[in-house]
Amino acid sequence: MTGTGKRHFIKTFGCQMNVYDSERMAEALDAAGYAAADSPETADLVVLNTCHIREKAAEKIYSELGRLKQIKSAREKDGRRTMIAVAGCVAQAEGREILTRAPVVDLVVGPQSYHRLGDLVGEAAVNGRVIDVDFPEDDKFNHLPDRPVKRRSASAFLTVQEGCDKFCTFCVVPYTRGVEYSRPVREVVQEAERLALAGVCELTVLGQNVNAYHGEGEDGTTWSLARLLRRLADIPSVRRLRYTTSHPRDMSDDLIALHGEEEKVMPYLHLPFQAGSDRILGAMNRKHTRAEYTETVARIRRARPDIALSTDIIVGFPGETDADFRQTMDLVKEVEFAQAYSFKYSARPGTPAETMTDQVPEDVKSERLHALQALLAAQQAAFNASCVGRRFEVLFERRGRRPGQLVGRTPYLQAVHADAPDALIGQLIEVEISGAGPNSLEADILSVADTPDLASAGV
């Protein structure tokens, strides 16, 4: 399609699945004749791709809409029209309410309708405000344009699974993203091959419950995530594979074994446990006990002793006592995480936990979060410090803040800064870790003689 002279600006909130969706929306809008704008001020269409997981995340959208209202009226004074679209999980969860609460919004579009974005914007321009938050029967991925082969970052996300059937009592995901859906293997492999052609050498395979993947295989049978990852590892220029987010219940034997067998699968795993007490895990409907979690971790570590573990933890779930919280702290001490995300419980509309009695007071939640985050920060710092003096392959992804500096990732997903020429962006390079901070590492590039990749990069 030829350009319309129009520009879009997409702002992404929330998880990696939204980052992936935003890329796909940009591609759908490219196909509808929109180019990318650098800022909302220069955009004819602004899309907010939103997150509904916690109250704070959802509230952010309304303050963002306040800012956009000013931009929209300033542009209007210059005779330029601005369409504003709310996409993502807030759109799905709140639907029409958004139109009532924020008159500035022209279009509300749920995660299942992104392929129709171009049409919906056209419709809203002609007929006024439009809302599309349906869950269609057919596969939205099929309708999105093929990912164009253009130079992109060396690391890319690839969504293979959406939705969740687990129904943890605190979580909105089963309502905003619907039931589990796995993309067929053929579709995933085609997309991976296109990305590889465009220079991507690290794929992070995404799903809300990615290890529950059960897609139709190339041979007509149902494939597990492990089998899909083995297939992706066959693509020669794919050098690194990651996957997220996994549920402890779905860490199957074949997936655990893969960590010990397939070199391309990185030694890093994000495995949320949410709470350390069995009573709270039960109330959360997590479908695993504390002992099952530690047993799963032990099996993973037997398969891949150096694996770096990450997790999600919630403090202050309704009914959580000091003793329950101590069990969360003890579990963190027992497992030792390389990094983690931790949150205060936030009541979400329509979830079972919202109406549970004995909600924990805000100041108690804050105190617990503070203590937990101090412990997690100490574990992360210790893990980072243990890497000093070691040699790793780092995938350099982009320039750093200082001139002459690049930023990349170790196999354990730590950010690494090194003084290195731009030619190394997109390359896997052997480095030696020279320093460690709380959130990142410093490294020296090893000499050309030590690093065949450097020679091929022409350095």
316 binds ligand SF4 (CB under 6 A): no
Contact between 75 and 82 (Cβ < 8 Å): yes
What one-letter code names the amino acid at 241? L
Integer Cα distance of 203 and 155 in angstroms: 6
- Nearer CB in complex with ligand SF4: 165/334: 165
Integer Cα distance of 365 and 372 in angstroms: 10
Closest-CA residue to 152 (of 112, 196, 102) = 196
54 binds, among ligand 5AD, ligand SF4, none (CB under 5 to 8 A by kind): ligand 5AD
Whose tokens are 């963002």? That residue is: 64
- Footprint on this chain of ligand 5AD (rule: CB under 6 A): 53-54, 170-171, 272, 274, 312, 314, 343, 345-346, 348
Sign (positive or negative) of CA dihedral 394, 399, 401, 403:
positive
- Nearer CB in complex with ligand 5AD: 278/432: 278
Q: CA–CA distance from 366 to each of 52, 132, 134, 170, 378 (Å)?
A: 21, 38, 38, 18, 18
Integer Cα distance of 373 and 443 in angstroms: 26
350 binds ligand SF4 (CB under 6 A): no
Closest contact distance (angstroms) between CB of 343 and ligand SF4 is 11
- Nearer CB in complex with ligand SF4: 107/340: 340
State phi, psi for 57 to the nearest 5 degrees.
-60, -45
- Nearer CB in complex with ligand 5AD: 52/240: 52
Q: Decide: residue 309, CB within 10 A, 0-12 exposed, 13-18 middle, 19+ buried.
A: buried
166 binds, among ligand 5AD, ligand SF4, none (CB under 5 to 8 A by kind): ligand SF4
211 binds ligand SF4 (CB under 6 A): no
168 binds ligand SF4 (CB under 6 A): yes
Residue 292: partners with Cβ closer than 8 Å, 6 or more residues away: 248, 249
Closest contact distance (angstroms) between CB of 276 and ligand 5AD is 13
60 binds ligand SF4 (CB under 6 A): no
- Nearer CB in complex with ligand 5AD: 49/451: 49
Asked if residue 245 has a cis previous peptide bond (ω within 30° of 0), the answer is: yes
171 binds ligand SF4 (CB under 6 A): yes
Residue 5: partners with Cβ closer than 8 Å, 6 or more residues away: none
Size of the site for ligand SF4 (CB under 6 A): 10
Choose one: 17-25, 41-49, 164-172, 214-222; the region binding ligand SF4 (CB under 6 A): 164-172
54 binds ligand SF4 (CB under 6 A): no
- Nearer CB in complex with ligand 5AD: 113/296: 296
391 binds ligand SF4 (CB under 6 A): no
Alpha-carbon dihedral 122, 123, 128, 129, rounded to 10 degrees: -100
270 binds ligand SF4 (CB under 6 A): no
Closest contact distance (angstroms) between CB of 230 and ligand 5AD is 27
From candidates 166, 194, 214, 326, binder to ligand SF4 by CB under 6 A: 166
Give the other-Cβ count within 10 Å of 56's Cβ: 11
Residues that bind ligand SF4 (CB under 6 A): 164, 166-168, 171, 173-174, 208-209, 247
